[in-house]
Structure 1
Amino acid sequence: MKFIRKNIFNALFVAFLLIIVFVPDAKALLIRGLMEIGLYSPAVNQPIKTAMDLGGIRFQDINGKKVDLGDLKGKVIFLNFWATWCPPCRAEMPSINKLFKQFQHDQQIVFIFADADGDLPKSTKFMRNRKYEMPVFKVTSSIPEQIFSGSLPTTVIFDKQGRLSFRHEGIANYADQKIVDFLNKLKTNP
């Protein structure tokens, strides 16, 4: 009897691991749970201030609207690189959506969610199916490695002068009050 219980437990454990490995939404759910208990909190206590020329870094949405980061001087830019197939990206999406909703009507902050695959129909459908309201773009120019080196997810924030003020590779909880305060601070600083 003891041998059978042990086998059942082992089989359930292996099944759980296989689900986590092969089902992106399951892995995202597990990571999201870890975010809720305080892991993956973004560090914004020592903001970086790297001056950059953002002109020529361009994105385009599904309607053909083009955005050049150089034209956004005077606004805070929240830029997130992600992909639909990326479990950590999926895990942080609810927190980013919450942050976006909090600032979506703020004319001083621009949000750009760049699908690393550039498949706008697929990424737009992904957002719509999950009831996320964030604007999806594809990259239409080269991106300096200082901004995006290929790791997903990657989030960067530029201040109103176009200086790189925050860069984070990997998952983070962007609904964290530290990020909200950081964005509000960037809005008020010249």
Structure 2
Amino acid sequence: MKRKRLNLGWLLTLVVMALVLFTPLGFHMQVWVNRILSHNPEPVATRTLEIPELNGWRLKGLKGDIIHGDELQGQVVLINFWASWCPPCVAEMPSLDKLHEEFGDRVRFLFIARDQKDKVVGYLEKNNFRFPVYFESGLTPTGIYATGLPTTFVLDRAGRIVVAHTGAANWYAEDTRKLLDSLLTN
């Protein structure tokens, strides 16, 4: 009886696939790949006339504070839908944190977690992030409803969508900072 030899290349491939699929190493590898592949978000011309109806939208903060959508009128707003279990979300969070540090006193940041509260708190503490996190109470307004994570919207003072981006991005890029500066001066 002749025995087949296991090809070392196949064995190595199976071990690597098992590590990626079934260990935390795979999650960190996906985050790393998303950081490398992320690009700068660009303003979207096709949605600039769209003004989502935010009245009636309620968000609850980690400390129990409530925000109503109508409170956002007249402000430049960045809305980010994310989760701690999402590799592209984790990949872009450091750049969003830097952006919040620079613009947090002039731009309204709404980081909306689609995750469990205890996991969000642990993630924020582990990474020393101090941006404001909210959970939705009710339905997401149609104009900013997102099925993919992460999804980020930037609204101008008139409430128009200036940026709508799904996927990891480098939010601290110079183009993004210039865009926010221009929205704040208008």
TM-score by length of 1: 0.83
**What is the RMSD computed on CA atoms of the aligned residues?**
2.2
Aligned-pair distance for 1:121? 2.5
1:32 aligns with 2:35: yes
Kept in 2, the 8 Å contact 1:44–1:178? The answer is no
Query: For residues 11 and 98 of structure 2, what CA distance do their matches in structure 1 show?
Result: 38
Question: Counterpart of 1:44?
Answer: 43
Q: What is the percentage of aligned positions where both structures have the same residue?
A: 30
- Structure 2 matches for 1:166-181, cutoff 5 A? 166-181=163-178
Query: For residues 25 and 56 of structure 1, what CA distance do their matches in structure 2 show?
Result: 38
SS at match of 1:146: helix
1:130 aligns with 2:127: yes
User: Greater CA deviation, 153-162 or 48-57?
Assistant: 48-57
Deviations 1:98-130 (A, max 9, x none): 1111112x2x3111110113x223202211111
- Which gives a bigger RCO, structure 1 or 2 (Cα 8 Å, sep 6+)? 2
Structure 1 residues 186 and 18: alpha-carbon distance in aligned structure 2, compared to 1, 3 A threshold: farther
Deviations 1:45-86 (A, max 9, x none): 647231233111111111110111211212111010011111
Which sections of structure 1, spanning at least 5 residues, go unmatched? Answer: none
Larger C-alpha radius of gyration, 1 or 2?
A: 2
Aligned-pair distance for 1:12? 4.8
Query: For residues 18 and 145 of structure 1, what CA distance do their matches in structure 2 show?
Result: 40
Kept in 1, the 8 Å contact 2:154–2:164? The answer is yes
Query: For residues 48 and 152 of structure 1, what CA distance do their matches in structure 2 show?
Result: 21
Structure 1 residues 139 and 45: alpha-carbon distance in aligned structure 2, compared to 1, 3 A threshold: closer
Residue correspondences, number: 178
TM-score by length of 2: 0.84
Aligned-pair distance for 1:161? 1.6
1:54 aligns with 2:57: no
Kept in 2, the 8 Å contact 1:61–1:120? The answer is no
User: Greater CA deviation, 43-52 or 160-169?
Assistant: 43-52
Question: Counterpart of 1:184?
Answer: 181
Question: Counterpart of 1:156?
Answer: 153
1:141 aligns with 2:138: yes
Which sections of structure 2, spanning at least 5 residues, go unmatched? Answer: none
Query: For residues 167 and 188 of structure 1, what CA distance do their matches in structure 2 show?
Result: 21
